[in-house]
Amino acid sequence: MRERDSIIFDLDGTLWNASETVVKAFNDSIQEIGFDINITSKAVRDFSGMKMDDIFAQHFSFIPKDKLQKFEKIYAKKENEYLKNYGGELFPNVKETLERLTENYRLFIVSNCMKGYIENFIGFFSFNDLFEDFECFGNDGLPKDKNITLIVERNNLQNPVYVGDTIWDKESSEKAGVDFIYATYGFGKIENPKVQIQNFEDLLSMKL
């Protein structure tokens, strides 16, 4: 069996929780287009992992179609601004674990987030030296499985594993032909996963 050479991470629910910052951006954007409706941070955690166009279509159906494009533009600007200022909360021991993992593995991120979201995460915590590359739906409009494949191909990865917390992460990994590790502490629920971690630092003690 080929030696594991790389780890690709999901972001929300796997590396950090930015739901409090994101919900503020959503609610301020909703008010700016004239609606007195608030969503909750739990709702944000529940739809984390979905493509952004699906999130807008399924969870913001109260916004008329003629205002949806304006809402999306306002939200994109606010999300970027708020993440730069407020960031999110890393899960326990993420920084220390990532630093140790780089000694043996190449690290990457693939998320269904908007353009600039991963850059804000990396910049907020000064993680530029930890991740070699990343990709997201906001950059290229591709689903997660295609972006996992893109990262694998353009970085010539030989035996990667994907770490995520939702059923969408698992399905995307399988479509991309990449092994999957379920982060049980995250936002999603997966029944009978083959491999799982209870805490992020468990990656250090398991045979990847």
Closest CA to 15 of 151, 108, 79, 137: 108
Total Cβ atoms within 10 A of residue 76? 18
175 — pLDDT class (breaks 50, 70, 90):
very high
Looking at residue 1, what is its pLDDT? 53
Q: How confident is the model at residue 61 (pLDDT cuts 50, 70, 90)?
A: confident
59 C-beta neighbours (distance < 10 Å), count: 16
Mean pLDDT of the region 171-199: 96
Q: What is the pLDDT of residue 208?
A: 85
What pLDDT is attached to residue 98? 98
Average pLDDT over every residue of 17-22:
96
pLDDT attached to residue 102: 97
Range with the poorest average pLDDT among 58-62, 85-89, 192-196: 58-62
When pLDDT is cut at 50, 70 and 90, the band that residue 119 belongs to is: very high
- Residue 123 has a pLDDT of 97
Highest average pLDDT, of 49-53, 68-72, 176-180, comes from 176-180
The pLDDT value given to residue 57: 83
The partner residues of 153 in beta bridges, in order of sequence, read none
Q: Is the pLDDT of residue 54 over 90?
A: no
Distance CA 97, CA 157 (A): 21
Instruction: Scan for tokens 């600007």, then name that residue.
Output: 77
CA distance 204 to 85: 31
Mean pLDDT score of the chain, rounded to an integer?
A: 94
DSSP state of 93: T
| Alpha carbon distance 208, 7 (integer Å) | 9
Looking at the predicted structure, is the pLDDT value of residue 89 above 80? yes
- pLDDT at position 59 is 86
Q: What's the pLDDT score for residue 49?
A: 79
Q: Which residues pair with 6 in a beta bridge?
A: 106, 160
Among the listed residues 16, 1, 11, the one whose alpha carbon sits nearest the alpha carbon of residue 208: 1
Q: Which of 35, 22, 15 is nearest to 79 (CA)?
A: 22
pLDDT digits (tens, 9 = 90+) for 132-142: 999 999 999 99
Rg (CA), the chain: 17
CA nearest 111: which of 7, 180, 9, 199?
A: 9
Q: Quick check: 145 pLDDT over 80? A: yes
